[in-house]
Chain A
């Protein structure tokens, strides 16, 4: 097939940068491809994509040499307007790319600006393609996170570009919306022949949807390979901090231990895994995990009712008759789709929201008439958006702030200790906003536990992080788990849930639909279906092989499963 994008000897450095971000890249992308770009943090993925639609070098200047041809146009010779109609771009930061107040308005805005007479029809068509029909007249603040993301996509689709580039399209979405986005992309790719390029960390999604994978390393393209081949290069990917699908990693480990033929193709999806794995001949019983013994009640919700004001019409009711007890020493993961009321529950606990009905008791005392300020020694909350936690001009001062204003004697030492514990000593004079994603999270956690609260609430601590940084935050969370008595995490990250939480609370439309240890929640097919939970892939793999299997990590999986005898090196069909 013809190439839709051709790069020749592209080298680019940002203004004032010491070294080039992209180094001598020559690569072609075929028309109709569904390409995933993977690579370490800061390897130049976003920069690479911005050269394709002319933002570099027309809008963001810098040293540019070599040539980029997109849809037959040389990006140096065309202006951004012409290129933007051929190459669509969807940013990771989806909220800030919506510029108009209503849905249809935003979807058709670009078409209007380029003076396309049928701009409204195009907007409507794009909304339909993205599954937002019926929402045309809605205001953008009525949309959920997932829908806003779809709208951002529709805004790009409406111009009917040949190529569509998406920067981390699912980083902030629950699995249901993530599948939806990729479903839309697949349709655009297969039915409408669009070339799709995604920057993606989630290799399970790459395995399910993408045709090719391109690995970028230090500003250079290492290779472009068909997805299967690419994902089987387990060691190379891991050295770039990319984690292949868990199924692939499990098979790779079996291969290395000799339980699987070294030449057998590695599976990349659960479906392929069925042909590779089998239960061990002598089944190992699944250990019975006793429910952790519970302390006294820390927070009790009784008959709580909460609703929000809305711009129009009746208030939106989040909770009706909510009853829930959080015990001392609980390590809870709060899960549920976007908009299920996770953040609301946390705001209730810190006293930022007051229930319209019912009562909340903290250590047996009602907090109905207690101000949020008075609760902050006992309950602390870390927001999803770490920027909002930074109120001083350096993170050192930010960590010290709460202790300082309370006149605690050991503020200095404690700040030092916290900086050390979260590996922030070298950064203590920097403004929090200018740190990298992982550093910002660590800083916000340090701020959150500065007052040594009994209860710590964390809203999506791993959202928007690449896998390597996520692992780092997971380690930090384990550390927090050991020192803070009661911790509640609201999250979509099922690996975090499985590896960290002792108790899982599932929220769905303002109701607690499941509550218990992980076996009880993930083993309950009805709940998993109803709420749209996507368990870790290795768990699904185990379930596909044996319905009673409950394994959450690769280690657990390998205790119970091995290579099938017909693919096993030591079996009958040795190669």
Chain B
């Protein structure tokens, strides 16, 4: 399992990567702060969602972009659990089409940036 794979990459490694390195990953990467505002939105995710990263940065992720995850299955877990590393099957609405994906939720107690990785 590679240190840069969907399943293998660590939260710390994602945070330490350059923008270019994250853009080159084959899966979507969204990083957001404790207030859910988007800090990182990689090129892969932008291609899948059809959104320009510049318009997504700084907006509250679960309210403005990913309402489909604003429920107890995803958003609530980041509220309740300081440490998460979980992979869950999910259905997103990328470009308004129901799309089966796998999500990896990553949060660490003490680290301000949380991640959601999206694999189509």
- Verify that A and B bind, or say they do not: no
Which residues of A line the B interface, CB within 8 A? none
